[in-house]
Structure 1
Amino acid sequence: MRGPSLFPGLCILLSLPGVIVQKAKGSCPPCPQNALCDIDGYCTCKPGYHSQSGERVLTFPLDICEDVDECKPPFSRYCGKNAECQNVEGSFYCRCDPGYKLLSGDTQFMNPSDNTCQKIASSNNTKGNQELQWVVEDLESRLANKTLWELGEKRKIASKVTSVLQMVESTVLKITLKTPDQDIQKVQNSAVAVKVRVVRDNCSEERKIFNLNIQMNSLDIDCNDIIQGDIKGPSAVAFISYSSLGNIINATFFGEMTEKDQVYLNSHVVSAAIGPKRNISLSKAVILSFQHTKKTNLQGQNVTCVFWKSTEEGGHWSRDGCSLEQVNKSHTTCSCTHLSSFAVLVAPTSQEEDATLAVITHVGLSLSLLCLLLAALTFLLCKAIQNTSTSLHLQLCICLFLAHLLFLTAINRTEHKVLCAIIAGALHYLYLAAFTWMLLEGLHLFLTARNLTAVNYSSMSRFMKFMFPVGYGVPAVIVAISAASGPHLYGTPNCCWLQLEQGFIWSFLGPVCAIICVNLVFFLSVLYILKRKLSSLNSEVSTIQNVRMLTFKAMAQLFILGCTWCLGVLQVGAAARVMAYLFTIINSLQGIFIFLVYCLLSQQVRKWFGNVMKPKSESEIFTHSSRFAAYSKSSENK
Structure 2
Amino acid sequence: HSGPLVFPGLPSTHCTCNPGFISGSKKMFFTFPLEICKDIDECKPPISIYYGLNAECQNIEGSFYCRCVPGYELLSGDARFNNSSENTCHRTTSSKPAKGHTELQQIVNTFKSLLTNQTLWGTGGKQEVASTASSILQNVESKVLEAALRAPGQKIQKVQNSTVAVETRVVSDNCSEERKVFRLHSQMNSVDIHCKDVIQGRPPGPSAVAFISYTSLGNILNATFFEEADEKNPLYLNSQVVSAAVAPRRTASLSQSVTLTFQHLKMNPSSKKTFCVYWKVTEEGGHWSRDGCLLAHVNQSHTICNSTHLSSFAVLMAFTSQEDDPTLHVITCVGLAVSLLCLVLAVLTFLLCRAIQNTSTSLHLQLSLCLLLAHLLFLTAIDRTQPKVLCAVVAGALHYLYLASFTWMLLEGLFLFLTARNLAVVNYASVNKLMKWLRFPVGYGVPAVIVAVSAASRPHLYGTPARCWLRLDQGFIWGFLGPVCCIFSIVNLVFFVSVLWLLKKKLSSLNREVSTIQNTRMLTLKATAQLFILGCTWCLGVLQVGPADRVMAYLFTIVNSLQGFFIFLVYCLLSQQVRNQYRKWFSDVTKSKSKSEIHTLSSKTGPDLKLSEKVGVSPGELVDR
| Bucket of the pairwise TM-score, normalised by the shorter protein | 0.3 to 0.5
Instruction: Give TM-score scaled by structure 2 length.
Output: 0.48
Q: With a CA cutoff of 8 Å and minimum separation of 6, indicate the structure with the bigger relative contact order.
A: 1
Instruction: Give TM-score scaled by structure 1 length.
Output: 0.47
